[in-house]
């Protein structure tokens, strides 16, 4: 028997906003990255480059937020599974943090490339 709930656009959208609200309230890294995104968007608007470059900068900026949210989800699941100090739990959290770091490095690298070559 399938107990999977039926898909409802409005319910699922509410769940997404609930997740966003929770991340904003509980995740200081996400709040900092969201604040940075405001300045990044202003920079994207002000920089004198083509629309394609602006879109690339925007996409890589949003990617940082997406990866941070996924990292927070990983951390929450790990915390749900164990409250003890477990090597695999630490590894899972560290790998999630590495993904965030790589997304930030990618975003900064793209900014540097656009500023130098565009």
User: Quick one: tokens of 12?
Assistant: 């699922």
Q: Is residue 56 helix, strand or coil?
A: helix
Q: Is residue 4 helix, strand or coil?
A: coil
Q: Answer yes or no: 68 catalytic.
A: yes
Q: Which of 33, 68, 75, 84 is catalytic?
A: 68
- Report the length, in residues, of the chain: 118
Of 102, 24, 96, 95, the residue nearest 60 (C-alpha):
102
Catalytic residue numbers, as ranges: 68
């Amino acid at each position: 028997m399938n107990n999977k709930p039926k898909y409802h656009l409005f319910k699922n959208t509410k769940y997404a906003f609930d997740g966003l609200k929770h991340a904003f309230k509980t995740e200081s890294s996400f709040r900092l990255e969201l604040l940075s995104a405001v300045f990044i968007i202003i920079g994207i608007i002000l920089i004198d480059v083509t629309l394609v470059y602006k879109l690339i900068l925007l996409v890589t900026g949003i990617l940082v937020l997406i990866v941070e949210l996924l990292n927070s989800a990983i951390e929450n699941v790990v915390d749900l599974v164990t409250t003890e100090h477990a090597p695999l739990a630490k590894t899972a959290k560290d790998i999630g943090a590495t993904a965030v770091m790589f997304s930030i490095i990618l975003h900064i690298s793209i900014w540097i490339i656009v500023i130098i070559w565009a």
